[in-house]
């Protein structure tokens, strides 16, 4: 994983952001294939087709979408010098985008923390907003490092350290939200929804900050968008076929009644004996159980026989004894 992330980080310096981000569908394809191989489940051919047919269709769609992405992705790529990064930071499209993103992030965080909106879209949209800043800053840091290694020193620009701090901070908080989501939802669902949201937001951020689609014709943009949609559908189908975890639901079975024996316990009683007062979970045959369930006695109201003008109760309440 470390080598893979280092490779992705290095690739930001040599290709447009809008091309690199959607290519993470390749990791989903590889995970599906490697998972089937290493699980080593015993299955029949018809069961294999029934269980994994959606995964194979998803892999095919993801490969087609990846091909379209590579073919019609933006080809323009500028050097990540300090002057270029500062110029992009103070441009009004990016400032407007940052304002909208900060407002949206604060609203989502408010509903998530204060209103307990634990919907997976809310959590993963927080991750996607943080991830867009992670990839934007990672591209700037990687590009400046590559130029510095090549002899054009860029480490003396303060914007390099600003980008580095933003990259680390957003990556940490992004991992924290992902950890919280993994505790409430299945990992396959997180993979599919997270890939779709993160890719969409990251491409938007790259198009605004680095102007990836500047100068591209309409056909290339439409084919690139079609490739993204096909890759999204492929990833969704790959993760759709996974088993859902069955939550544990506590219940009281019929064999847990007092006096009953469980066949798995070899004659042992299901519930422990408790020689104490009557309580839930330890039922026993008490002689004074009738006193507990004895009906409440009501005071006797004497029936008055008098004139209609006389005050009194128009009915009679009888006393119920324990025997009755």
Q: Does position 317 have pLDDT exceeding 90, yes or no?
A: no
Separation of alpha carbons 80 and 96, rounded Å: 22
* Position 92 in a domain: yes
pLDDT digits (tens, 9 = 90+) for 83-96: 989 999 999 999 99
Separation of alpha carbons 298 and 176, rounded Å: 63
The pLDDT, as a whole number, for residue 316 is 58
pLDDT band for 214, please (50, 70, 90 cuts).
confident
The pLDDT, as a whole number, for residue 245 is 46
Neighbours of 23 (CB within 10 A): 17
The pLDDT, as a whole number, for residue 230 is 93
* Position 215 in a domain: yes
**Is the alpha carbon torsion for 254, 255, 256, 259 positive or negative?**
positive
With contact defined as beta carbons under 8 Å apart, do 198 and 131 qualify? yes
pLDDT digits (tens, 9 = 90+) for 257-290: 555 555 444 544 445 544 444 444 444 455 554 5
Provide the token pair at 126.
């927080």
* Position 312 in a domain: no
With contact defined as beta carbons under 8 Å apart, do 74 and 212 qualify? yes
* Position 322 in a domain: no
Separation of alpha carbons 56 and 64, rounded Å: 12
Separation of alpha carbons 132 and 170, rounded Å: 9
**Number of compact structural domains in the chain:** 1
> Rounded mean pLDDT of 160-187?
92
Q: Does position 303 have pLDDT exceeding 50, yes or no?
A: no
DSSP letters spanning 36-68: HHHH-----HHHHHHHHHHHHHHHHHHHHHHHH
Average pLDDT, the chain: 78
For 116, half-sphere exposure in the C-beta direction (CA atoms, 13 angstrom radius) is 0
The pLDDT, as a whole number, for residue 52 is 76
* Position 141 in a domain: yes
Separation of alpha carbons 159 and 75, rounded Å: 25
The pLDDT, as a whole number, for residue 144 is 92
Separation of alpha carbons 152 and 145, rounded Å: 9
* pTM for the full predicted model: 0.69
Domain that holds residue 226: 1-243
With contact defined as beta carbons under 8 Å apart, do 123 and 181 qualify? yes
Among 6-10, 173-177, 228-232, 294-298, the range scoring the smallest mean pLDDT is 294-298
> Rounded mean pLDDT of 86-114?
93
* Position 305 in a domain: no
Picking from 283, 319, 285, 289, the residue whose alpha carbon sits closest to that of residue 301 is 319
* Position 162 in a domain: yes
């Amino acid at each position: 994983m470390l080598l893979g992330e280092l490779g992705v980080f290095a690739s930001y310096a040599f290709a447009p952001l809008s091309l690199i981000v959607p290519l993470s569908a390749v990791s989903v394809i590889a995970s599906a294939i490697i998972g089937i191989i290493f699980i080593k489940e015993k299955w029949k051919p018809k069961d294999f087709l029934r269980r994994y047919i959606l995964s194979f269709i998803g892999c095919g769609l993801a490969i087609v979408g990846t091909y379209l992405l590579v073919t019609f992705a933006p080809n323009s790529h500028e050097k990540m010098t300090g002057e270029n990064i500062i110029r992009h930071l103070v441009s009004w499209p990016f400032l407007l985008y940052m304002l909208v993103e900060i407002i949206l992030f604060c609203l989502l965080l408010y509903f998530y923390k204060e209103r307990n909106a634990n919907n997976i879209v809310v959590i993963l949209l927080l991750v996607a907003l943080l991830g867009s800043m992670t990839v934007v800053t990672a591209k700037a840091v990687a590009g400046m490092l590559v130029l510095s290694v090549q002899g054009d020193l860029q480490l003396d620009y303060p914007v390099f350290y600003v980008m580095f701090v933003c990259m680390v901070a957003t990556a940490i908080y992004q991992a924290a939200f992902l950890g919280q989501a993994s505790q409430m939802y299945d990992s396959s669902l997180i993979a599919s929804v997270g890939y779709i949201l993160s890719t969409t937001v990251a491409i938007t951020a790259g198009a605004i900050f680095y102007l990836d689609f500047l100068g591209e014709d309409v056909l290339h943009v439409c084919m690139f968008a079609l490739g993204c949609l096909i890759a999204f559908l492929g990833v969704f189908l790959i993760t759709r076929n996974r088993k859902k975890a069955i939550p544990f639901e506590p219940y009281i079975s019929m064999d847990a009644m007092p006096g009953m024996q469980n066949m798995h316990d070899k004659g042992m009683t299901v519930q422990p004996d408790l020689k104490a007062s009557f309580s839930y979970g330890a039922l026993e045959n008490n002689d004074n159980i009738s006193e507990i369930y004895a009906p409440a006695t009501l005071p006797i109201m004497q029936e008055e026989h008098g004139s209609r003008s006389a005050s009194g109760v128009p009915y009679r309440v009888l006393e119920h004894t324990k025997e009755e």
